[in-house]
Every structure is written in C-alpha cells, then in structure tokens.
A = this chain, B = another copy of it.
Amino acid sequence: MLAKIVFVGAGNLATHLATAFFNQGVEILQVYSYTEENAKLLADKVNAAHTASLQNVRTDADIYIYAIKDAFLDQVQVQINAPQAWHLHTAGSVPMNVFKETKLKYGVFYPLQTFSKTKQVDFSKIPICLEASCSEGLEILKELATRISADVREVSSAQREKLHLAAVFTCNFVNRMYAIAHDVVSEHGLSFDILLPLIDETAAKVHTLIPRDAQTGPAMRYDENVINKHLAMLNDDSYKQLYQLISENIYKSQ
C-alpha cells in the first residue's frame, strides 16, 4: 500500500508526523491549515500542495489525518467530503465516534509524545495508539504506523483518554515542575544546567523501579524542618501552595 495522505492541520504534531511519513517515502498530497502561511510552510517541507480553504481540500486522497485543536475537529471534518477515504484524528481525549455520523471509514492515529516546533524527535520509538471503525481499517492503520514507529498498539477510546490523562501528569505537569525549578535557580544566579543530571536520572529511575519505589526527598518523611525552610524561600504564593499540596500527597501516599 502506498497511501496518499492529506494533512488537515499544520501545527507541531502535523509537522512532525507529516515529516516522519515524508522521510519514509509516503506521499503527502496536500496540507490544509486555516492559516495559509502555516499550510505552505509544512507543505514545502513535505513536497505537497497546500490550501487554506476547506473547499479546496482534495477529495482523492486515501487517508485524511486531522491534527487540529480538539475544539475545531468536528466542524472541520464535516466539511471534508471524501467518502471512500479513511479519516483519522490524532487527539488523546476525543472518542473515535466523532466521525460516526459523517464518515464511513474512520479511526484514530494517536502518537503518545510531546511535540515542540524546534525540537526533533525520533519517531521510531514513539508509541502509536490505533483504533479503527473495522478490522480491515485497523490493518491499514497498522501498516501505516509501522512505517514510522516500531511501537504500534491497539488502544480503545476509553483507554486512550486515560493515557492522555496520564500523559498530562508525566509530561505537562512534569514540565511545569521543571519551569518552577528554573525560576528558583535563575532568581538566585544559578544555571539551570546543574539540574539536568538529576532530571535525567529521575526519568531513568522509573524505567527500572515503579515510581512509588523511586520516591525520595523531604516530603517522604514529612521533614518539617526542610519543608518549612523551602516554603519560606518561595516568594510566589501559588508555588507555596503547590509545594505544600504535593508534599502532603507524597507523604500520604506511602
């Protein structure tokens, strides 16, 4: 199968995903984005046509991949009329059935990863969670996914929303902890890079230990002496509140 793909969306995920397909020789027919500039930027990277008009989205592709904000998915997909094709969204928290009323063949292609514009990722290690409206579709999706990743899994809508929730904790919330630490060290003339070996080791530990067993630090033993010193050092009230709440949560979880 050499599927022809239209990308609906040109944000971080669309860019990384389209580029990964393009690098594996998969043909990207066209890129649509609400913003012409973004559509062209990605289209040029993957040797595709581009459009900023939903009316001009080509109808002869085999696969339409929607990588747009959740809130826009429904209103955009109903305007794309390609009944013979597969329609796949890439969202963690949107059920597959969003396509049920308007499409014949549909599914989900959810790469469980965080994407930023300027940071390259190795797609081959990214778990791709697939779901399809029929078993034939699942095979097509698997074939497509294995072109770019060695970790392809079948995941239901119910499981996927749990994974997305877990991803918010392990990625978005973790990154916020890094950002607070960045504030703390910057404020005192220290370089954030001194924390990188600790950040890496903290991530590495949960490859071999379950997180509960990897827990260390003053909150575990509720060391009030250290905790109170730390609270006194935090100028921002929301940081104080977070520090206290997470510390209590660690202590009580044991």
Contacts and interface: CB of A to CB of B under 8 A. Distances in A.
A211 B113 contact: no
How many copies of this chain are found per oligomer?
2
Interface in A197-254: 197-203, 205-221, 223, 225-226, 229-230, 233-234, 238, 241-243, 245-246, 248-250, 252-253
15 contacts: A93-B225, A114-B205, A125-B197, A127-B197, A168-B218, A170-B177, A172-B220, A174-B199, A176-B219, A176-B250, A182-B211, A199-B203, A200-B203, A202-B203, A238-B249
A116 interface: yes
Contacts of A178: 169-170, 174, 206, 211, 214
Contacts of A162: 184-185, 187-188, 190, 233
Q: Binding site of A, secondary structure by majority: helix, strand, loop or mixed? A: helix
B175 A230 contact: no
Contact of A241 (B93, B182, B199, B245): B245
A71 interface: yes
Contact of A115 (B114, B185, B192, B216): B216
A78 interface: no
Contacts of A189: 159
A236 to B, nearest CB: 9
